[in-house]
Every structure is written in C-alpha cells, then in structure tokens.
Structure 1
Amino acid sequence: MNKAFVKESDNDDEDDGLGPEAVALPAGTKNYITTEGYRRLRAELAHLMNEERPEVVQVVSWAASNGDRSENGDYLYGKKRLREIDRRMRFLTKRLEVAEVVNPATQPNKDQVFFGATVEYCDKAGETFRVTIVGVDEAEPLQGRISWISPVARALLKAHEGDTVTLRTPGGVDELDILEISYPTD
C-alpha cells in the first residue's frame, strides 16, 4: 500500500494538540488561572506522563514485537494514542509555563467583580444566574464556571453589587443586575 494513504502527518505540531476544547488567549494577555485550576492541570500532566503514556508505550512495544505492523490494530491505535498524549502534554506544559496563578481568596476589593469572583445576577427576563469567573483552561460553562475573556465575564468585571451592566450579544443587548458578589475563603 502506498505510504501516502496511511501516513498521517510528518508534523505533529500542526495544531499543537490544542483540540477543539482549547481556547486561544488574546494577544498580549496573561494566562490567569486559579490555584485549584493550576493544580488540576498539573495533576493531568503528571497522570499522562507517569501513568497513561508508559502504559500505551508498553502496548505499542508488545504490538510491534508481533511482527507485521501494517495491519496491527493495537500498534496503529497505540501510535495514534501516543501522538495524542504527547500533543496534550506539550499543550499542558506550555500553558503551565505561562500561567499566572491568582488566588481569589486574597482579593482585597471583595465588593467588586474581579477574577475568581462568584457572581449572582439577573437578566432582563428575570432569570437568575450564578457564575464563577475563572481562567480559560478551567472554564466549564454548564457548571457555571466561565472564562474571564467570555462576553458575560467582561460585562461583569469591575462592577459592584447593585450595579446594572450591559451585555452585548449577537441576539441584542441585555441588562444584567448584579445581586451578589462573593469570593472563596482560604
């Protein structure tokens, strides 16, 4: 079989393993992250490096020793999984190197919305939301953890309890009333 049909890419750094879930940081900004988010990324990197990668390497070595590699599913899948793991490890390493850890508990202005704040707000329709503003690598919107670069977070930043802020969306303009601001305690 022609190599052109089976070879994936000479350059594994093409997309740098960011994947669809990775969010690019705006140019000139820092990679803010909470202490808990930093710990989670470090734990993921350690797990990949110390547990998952060695297991896959062992499977690939075993599969390679079985002979013909061209139709060996364990070998082909293992090599693909190794590339994915290595890509994710490079991504995590780069993000951790440039991470600026912020401990929201030490925020002096607890009456104002900053990174790490948990904000309860109400929109024009009267629906109440509770979100925590976190780093781009730890955002989980369905769990109420939004990135500090998201439109909602940008609208809320620097506001005080009782303020009304304007949120511009593709669907139009919305007014958000800030009901409560809180920060975690150490």
Structure 2
Amino acid sequence: MTLPGFTGERGAWYDGDGKRWKGVNRVPKGLIVLDVQEDFLRNTLDYIAPLCQRYINQHADAYAAVILTRWVYDELMGRDTLLLSHPKAHVVEKRSYSGYTEDTKKILEVAGIDEVHIAGVDSEGAVLATMFSLVDAGYQVKILERLVTGYHGRNWEAMMIARHIIGSENVLNIGGDRVWV
C-alpha cells in the first residue's frame, strides 16, 4: 500500500514541495474518527458531525494519517452515509466495533505512526474497542473526549474506563466547541 506524500522509508513524510515533514523529532500521530455516519446519529447525536469535521479541517496537517471509519452492514445496501470528508483522509470500511482493521493497520504502519488519537461515535462500543485494539498492538493512544459521543448517555463511564486503561493524561479535553444544529 502506498500513500500520497510517503516514501518507502518508514515514517518519512514529505509535503507537496518535497520537504521532509516538519517535526521529524516528534512522534508521528494518526487520527481515527469512528463511524460519524448519518444512520448512526439518530437526531440526538447530530452535534458530533460538525465538531469532528471542524477539528479535521483545522488539524489534519498535524497528523501523518487521518482515517475515517465507516461501519458497513447489509441494510445499507451500498449507500454511503459517512458525514465527514477531507482530501487527506483515508476511508476504511469496518464490520466490527474496533476501527483497528487490517486496512487501518497498514495505513498506520506505512505512515510510521506511534501515537493514535481517537474521536467519533459510540464511546461505549467502538471507541473503547478501538482503544483496546490499539493498546494491545503497542500504540500510544489518546482519546479526544469532546469529540466522542455515545448512544446511551454513558459517555462519562466510557471515558472513566479509558482513563483507567490509558491514564487521565491521555484523555484529552480538546476538540469540542459550540455548535448549532
């Protein structure tokens, strides 16, 4: 798998001018935004889509890879209900809770990612499943708390579990803002 902007050298990122990625001494970061799709928001979680899109638009350049996951299931009948986009983003389809799929793994490996930030829908399921999968695979994981939401009003419980597993310093209170829906 080859990605635009990458060379064969693990973790070597070049911008459009052929200059080596700024911050060579920094840990290459990846962003995974989980399942922000029309059919999942149910009119009660609509606020998360513009918040995530705004964050991606403002911060995509800080990431060596941006991954948008899309849960695929039979009832979709081929429709694309993903609400986010960005020219730099890779869209990865998944059929399980975790966003750490084989395609995601390849993207992170090619980009030389060591640290992954997580945002998106289903804090109680997909966010925690992705966090556990990434931790098990050896990645440093950070959750963008203000950019995750849950279906059952239990976001705070999911974030307490995350704090217990990855440490409070890795559950970041960034990314949120006011949004009018």
Answer yes or no: same fold by TM over 0.5.
Answer: no
* TM-score when normalising by structure 1: 0.21
Larger radius of gyration: 1
Give the structure with the larger helix fraction.
1
Which one has more relative contact order, counting CA pairs under 8 Å at least 6 apart? 2
Given the two structures, how large is their TM-score scaled by the length of structure 2?
Answer: 0.21
